[in-house]
């Protein structure tokens, strides 16, 4: 049981922005630890997920698709390339840009990250029923889409 100093003001507990920020901070820690456990990071996961789902893409397209700053995409792709998870090659149609393609090991790494993420989500959403989880994901999706 916490002390009186641990109590949160009601105004904050009723503020969606504050609640979302608190959950996002906690989720970031839980997911970050899960990805670290399989040798990855959030950006690695996002980039590999986009490549596997949509196929080879330019660095700029990946930045837009994943909502990651271009300089961060380049740094993350350098790490993924060094680990043998992606191949970066000049675009045959435009030699000024690179096309990124996942390797078989990149696909396997994504599968390991998927499993770690599922476990992290299970821990994060443990207080909710399956129906509540589905509702939360649907509502958050609407907020993101807007």
Here the CATH number for the domain that contains residue 89 is 1.10.10.10
Evaluate whether residue 13 is within a structural domain: no
What are the strands, taking DSSP E only, across the chain? 57-58, 86-90, 98-102
In 3D, which of 64, 48, 28, 36 has the Cα closest to residue 110? 48
Q: How far apart are CA 21 and CA 10, in angstroms?
A: 16
What is the tally of structural domains in the chain?
1
Evaluate whether residue 91 is within a structural domain: yes
Evaluate whether residue 127 is within a structural domain: yes
Evaluate whether residue 9 is within a structural domain: no
DSSP state at residue 7 = P
61 C-beta neighbours (distance < 10 Å), count: 16
Please give the residue range of the domain that contains residue 49: 35-145
User: Does residue 113 carry a pLDDT above 60?
Assistant: yes
Note whether 83 and 60 are within 8 A (CB): no
Evaluate whether residue 93 is within a structural domain: yes
Evaluate whether residue 25 is within a structural domain: no
pLDDT tens, residue by residue, 51-89: 999 999 999 999 999 999 999 999 999 999 999 999 999
DSSP state at residue 92 = S
Note whether 66 and 84 are within 8 A (CB): no
Query: Binning pLDDT at 50, 70 and 90, where does residue 95 land?
Result: confident
Evaluate whether residue 23 is within a structural domain: no
């Amino acid at each position: 049981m916490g002390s009186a100093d641990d109590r949160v003001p009601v105004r904050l507990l009723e503020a969606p922005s504050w609640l979302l920020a608190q959950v996002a901070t906690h989720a970031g820690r839980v997911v970050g630890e899960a990805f670290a456990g399989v040798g990855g990071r959030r950006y690695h996961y996002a980039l590999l997920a986009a490549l596997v789902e949509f196929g080879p893409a330019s660095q700029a397209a990946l930045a837009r698709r994943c909502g990651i700053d271009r300089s961060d995409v380049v740094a993350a792709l350098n790490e993924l390339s060094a680990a043998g998870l992606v191949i970066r090659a000049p675009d045959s149609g435009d030699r000024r840009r690179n096309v990124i393609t996942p390797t078989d090991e990149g696909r396997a790494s994504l599968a390991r990250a998927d499993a770690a993420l599922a476990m992290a989500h299970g821990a994060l959403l443990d207080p909710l029923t399956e129906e509540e989880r589905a509702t939360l994901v649907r509502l958050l999706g609407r907020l993101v889409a807007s």
